[in-house]
Structures are given as C-alpha cells and as structure tokens.
Amino acid sequence: MELTAREIARIAGGEMLAGDPDARVSSYAIDSRVLEPGDCFVALRGVRDGHDFLTDAFAKGAIVALVSEAVDAPVAGATLVRVAEPLAALGALAGHARTLMADTTVVAITGSAGKTATKDLTAAAVATSRRVHASPLSFNNESGLPLTVLSAPDNTEVLIAEMGARFAGNIAALVEIARPQVGVITHVGMAHAEHLGGREGIAREKGELVEALPASGLAVLNAACDASADLATRTAARVLRVGRAPDADIVVRDVVLDDELRARFVLETPWGRAPVALALLGEHQVENAAMAAAVALELGASLEAVVSGLEVTQTASLRMEMVRTATGVVVINDAYNSSPTSAAAAIRSFAHLRVTGRRLAVLGPMLELGSHAAEEHEALGALAAATGIDVLVAVGEGAEHIVEGARGAGARGSAAGGAPRRGSGVSVVTMPDAAAATGYLIDEVRFGDAVLVKASRAVGLEAVADALVRGASA
C-alpha cells in the first residue's frame, strides 16, 4: 500500500517528527537486515529495540521510519513519524489497507500444526485460477500478518493469511485486521497450551477465527479433529468438513507413502474425484492438502487445476526437509518447531522410511506446554519406542520425560552420552545440548542410517541436521 508520511501519521494517530511529509513509501519492514530501498521501517520494541537500528535502516534506503520516542534524525533528511506504539500503528496501517481491498477475498488459516504447509498448499492451488498473495515464510503473528496485508499487490484477488496464537486474544486481534471471508482450522492440539489454558483454551482461541466469519463465508474444518464439531456451532458461515472420515464433505481415501515419504491419496469432492501425488513429505500433509483443495475449489478453481497446484507445492525450510548424503545417510530436518501433534506426525512418517541401516530420532523438548509437558513428552517417547525407531537421542533440559516415556514402553537406556546397547527395540541416549548431540551423531551414523531431527526452535536442533549433512557428505 502506497502512502505518504503525512498519511501514515494520520492513519496511525501519530505526528511528523522530522523530514518530508510527502515522502512516499509502498513497502514496510521491521528488520533492518532485510530492508529494501524505499521501505518504511517500523521500529518495534522487543528482544531488540528497533530504534537502535534507525541509522542502519536509512543507510539501506528507508524512506520513512515509524518511531515511538522523540529521536534525532539518524541521517540528514530522514523522515520520522512518531506514534504511541509502532506495533499498534503497523496494525492500523494494515487495517486501513484491508478497507481498500473491497474485491479481495481473504483466507485465514490457523491451527495447532500444519498452518504454514496448508497456507503454501492453498496458495499454490488457488493460484491456478486467481491472483494470489500469501504470507511469506511463517508471518503469522501481530507483526507478520500486518506486513502480509500491507505487501499485497493492488491486483490481489485472494489474500491468504496465516494466523498463529500464543496468548488469548491473538486470533481476535488478527481477524480484526484481516477480516477474512474464509477460515481454515487445521487441527486443535496442544501447541502453546501453557499460555492458552490447555486444549480447551486452545479450541476457544482458534474458534475466534470461525466466529469472525460472515454468514456468507466459509469455514473449513478437519473432520478427524474432535474439536471440529463444537467449532462448527460457533460460526454463522457455511462449514466444510475435510478428511478421512467417510461422512466428510471432502473425503481423503487410499493414503500411501512412497519410498521418499511423499504422500499419495485419492481426493473425493463435490466437484469430482482425482488422485493426488504430493511433493511434500509426511502422511500428515494429506489433510493439509485436502483443506487447501476445499478452499481453491470453493473459489472457483477446477479440480484438475487444484491437483496440479497441490502437486508442485514445495517444502518450507526446516520442515521435513530430506537430504540423502553422498555417504548414504538420510537426514530429515524437521527442526523448525515442535508440538505434540507435529512431533507425532514426524515420527509416524519417519517409521515408513525404507532404510538399510538404523533409524535414529533426535528429539528435543516441546516448549510452552506448561503443566501438560511431562505427559506429552512421555507420550512422544512411548510413540518413538513403538514405531520402529532404533536409537532415540533425547536432547536438552526437559527431554527427560521423552526418555521416561520410551523406557516405559520397553526402551533400553544408557548413561548420559554413552553408546546405546545393541539388540532388539529402541535404545536411548541422552545429550545435554545440540552441540553434544552433534558430536555424538557425527561419530555414530554410518552408511544406510536415517536421522530425524525434531524439537522446538529454541532448542536449535537445526544445527545438528546441518552438521550431519556436512559431515556425512564430506
């Protein structure tokens, strides 16, 4: 959205502090490292204070900066707009941009797992027939969603926005900005249970999306999720249930995984029946793809076009990324983040991988589960022990409950950092951190082995996967 500094000040309830009121911007950034010439830099306060990077921002070509304090112009001629709170101002600008999108359909996607994959699948399916703009990467929070709206080209016909929630009221705030006509809830699980009040609180929070939909809108729900029945009663919009349940409105049948863990299935819809072969890895992608198909078909795409869009969708970074190294080791990097739902899905899919050596699962803690942490980690360990994992490497503080769950299911343990004993069943190794796990695995893996890496992002297990790929390829 193109605005002058004067217009930005008016919409955001701010004032001109310095520079040219007629300075004009059409794009917005909150990170000076990725800022492009011509951007409006929004100086957010968080772990790092954006005001500390004003000089960098203007050096890289920022035209205007939104600030919350009276600061001197960092460079000669810099245009500064002062607002009470830059994050709120960013939301106000995005809300204004949304009012100008009278002919744009907004699709909002939330859920405890699968949001980004479903967003990417939906964008690919809808783009076969409409001009689409979608959230980049995982721009799904109180800053990412406004940036998504503000960056939409003027000719956007369908805007696809991912919405995440860590605290109560997050979804309500995001839908107030985006005002979606279509809402997708992938699944209600336990992600962020600590802050949202368990699964019941998570369902309430996710339900704020379908509650906000107009009566003329559409809610797409997962037929396999036991929270969907209640969610369906909370919306005035029409509801489509999607999944493997035979009474779903859009049904998934005959699901298989090939040797590369790519899902194959048959999609049965009111618009026809078609086989689908995904490039994405994991059985859990089937429901994500089917929900994406529901949106695209409702928006007028043909079934043939929808299938073609689904089949070319690529994996997002650090999400079930598979690398077969030159030395015959398979590394699956799913370390972007972790929750009980996504971790279980990764392990179940990993169990289908055909290997000549061993399966090693490197699992770290799933954060923000609060009082549910012990139970959920024990369940994850038990699942790893039951699904053909040969070696479970539990990493970091908080992973001890994964070990307890695995041992409760019959796994054999070892001293911390010790080598697992051989024999039938899963062996358990504990490591204090990612660096220790890396050292152990570099020495341990050999030709024919496969390694899955999964944990919450703060644990940093992507470094383990990167080192394995480099080390095993050397």
Domains in the chain with CATH codes: 3-83 (3.40.1390.10), 101-312 (3.40.1190.10), 321-473 (3.90.190.20)
Query: Contact at 8 Å (CB) between 42 and 121?
Result: no
Instruction: Determine the distance from the C-alpha atom of residue 273 to the mean position of all C-alpha atoms in its chain, rounded to a whole number.
Output: 29
Per the CB < 8 A criterion, the answer to whether 122 and 156 are in contact is: no
DSSP per-residue string spanning 266-293 = EEEETTEEEEEEEEEESTTHHHHHHHHH
pLDDT at 78: 95
**What are 356's two structure tokens?**
């000549």
Distance separating the N- and C-terminal Cα atoms of the chain: 48
For 187, the 3-state DSSP assignment is coil
Please report, in tens digits, the pLDDT of each residue of the chain (474 residues total).
899 999 999 999 999 999 999 999 999 999 999 999 999 999 999 889 999 999 999 999 999 999 999 898 899 989 999 999 999 999 999 999 999 999 999 999 999 999 999 999 999 999 999 999 999 888 999 999 999 999 999 999 999 999 999 899 999 999 999 999 999 999 998 888 888 898 999 999 999 999 999 999 999 999 999 999 999 999 999 999 999 999 999 999 999 999 899 999 999 999 999 999 999 999 999 999 999 999 999 999 999 999 999 999 997 888 999 999 988 999 999 999 999 999 999 999 999 999 999 999 999 999 999 999 999 999 999 999 999 899 999 999 889 999 999 998 877 665 444 444 443 478 999 999 999 999 999 999 999 999 999 999 999 999 999 999 987 443
Q: What angle do CA 427, 429, 433 make, to 5 degrees?
A: 155
pLDDT at 414: 53
- How is residue 56 written in tokens? 């960098």
Percent of the chain whose predicted confidence (pLDDT) is above 90:
86
CA–CA separation, 55 and 377 (whole Å): 45
pLDDT at 413: 61
CB 250 within 8 A of CB 293: yes
Q: Residue 40 in contact with residue 25, Cβ under 8 Å? A: yes
The conformational region for residue 168 under phi > 0 = left, psi -120 to 50 = alpha, else beta, is beta
Its pTM stands at 0.91
d(CA 74, CA 65) in angstroms, rounded, equals 10
Q: At what angle do helices 115-126 and 303-312 cross, to 10 degrees?
A: 130
| pLDDT (0 to 100) of residue 262 | 95
**From start to end of 289-424, where are the E strands?**
321-324, 330-333, 359-363, 391-395
| Segment 383-395, tens digit of pLDDT | 999 998 999 999 9
C-beta separation of 255 from 244 below 8 A:
yes
Residue 221 sits at the vertex; the CA angle it makes with 217 and 223, to the nearest 5 degrees, is 145
